[in-house]
Structure 1
């Protein structure tokens, strides 16, 4: 509640001046959770997933489902359905940029490669995706991240060269 007190009203994720959550929420989260069939939201997420991953989307989801825990595929379906595919605030391309920015510091090249290509599938240009990657790399380096040796057991950085287009 303390954060809400100091957040500018136009940034609050709630209806602005209306008691009707079903029609005035800027993100439509309330509608997704309480007013839309979950099957419809999950299908929207599947469509978003398919657009990002293209012809390999089924194979990737199948691998997640067989990864040793059913929760990985479930989590992806819920995340894409209820969060990432919601384009009321961010466009699909902007969502891809956020994902790229989150994956680079985690040193998860396989996922990063998919999302670099996924941004292109969503309509971004090669130049835009490279610019996002470069800016994120600069931010990471400014915060102390660096290339780590393969034999270094831990640290703040990357084990291998960070994926690019």
Structure 2
């Protein structure tokens, strides 16, 4: 690259082309018609292209299925819940920026004032709810090394149990089990983290995502990574972890 040259950000038109390509490729028949855009949003935000969050939103609401105020509010709740869950995976700043950007293109009548975690407490009920979801993703045989590490990292054990799973991931009232796990997987994959990607490829298979469908999701995330100028070369494929499922 010549000295002093800069990398140009993708254009809005290129973003829309990406959305169309992912929607066409995504295994929606198996995973649901409204799952592809959650994976796309998670990958864009985790990959540093938060400017395309409102582009995705306006692309979606141009469709007849989102022609009513209530349908748009429902969509906003789903996008917001995806971003809330991403806080536990990638940190708060990028999801927060995406929230502000989406809000900036949201019609006043479409704004949704619901509060999904109002009254939340870090109590025994929360801990149990997090544990139940955690045990859908992991098995006791998976946790020997994790527990060995947590024995000397109590802060991270507490965060995992009470916040990551208790507060964020075990609430599946807005996006369902499958969508939640795919959002988590996407947020991890886009950071090129092989260990945690393997865990959640395995977890996705355990909650019922088919092997071929999961490979296709992986390819869709790679499409977003290319769009963001990122390499995901460290990651395992679903075939690499299939024996652990």
Q: Please confirm whether the aligned pair reaches a TM-score higher than 0.5, indicating the same fold.
A: yes
1:30 corresponds to 2:115:
no
> Which structure shows the bigger proportion of residues in helix conformation?
2
Displacement of 1:61: 4.6
Q: What's the CA shift string for 1:12-37, capped at 9, x where partnerless?
A: 3x33xxxxxxxxx5x3x114x15xx7
RMSD: 2.5
- List per-residue Cα deviations over 1:4-58 (Å, max 9, x = no partner): 575456563x33xxxxxxxxx5x3x114x15xx7211111111111110123354
Q: What's 2:160 paired with?
A: 76
Q: State how far apart, in whole Å, the 1-side matches of 2:134 and 2:145 are.
A: 10
Q: Secondary structure at the match of 1:135?
A: helix
Q: 1:125 maps to which residue?
A: 210
What's the secondary structure of 1:30's corresponding residue? coil
Q: Name the counterpart of 2:237.
A: 164
- State the distance in 2 between where 1:11 and 1:129 align: 33
Deviation string for 1:99-142 (max 9, x for gaps)? 11111121211111010110111122222222211100111022
Q: Which runs of 5+ in 2 are unaligned?
A: 1-98, 239-245
Q: Normalized against structure 1, the TM-score is what?
A: 0.70
Deviation readout 1:63-93 (Å, 9 max, x if unpaired): 3422x43211111112101110101111111
User: Gapped runs of 5+ residues in structure 1?
Assistant: 16-24, 147-156
Partner Cα separation in structure 2 for residue 144 and residue 62 of structure 1: 35
| Residue of structure 2 in register with 1:59 after alignment | 144
What residue is the counterpart of 1:18 in the other structure?
none
Runs of 4+ in 1 over 4 A off after TM superposition: 8-11
- SS state of the match for residue 106, structure 1? coil
1:64·1:72 contact (CA, 8 Å) conserved in 2?
no
Contact 1:61 1:73 (8 Å CA) reproduced: no
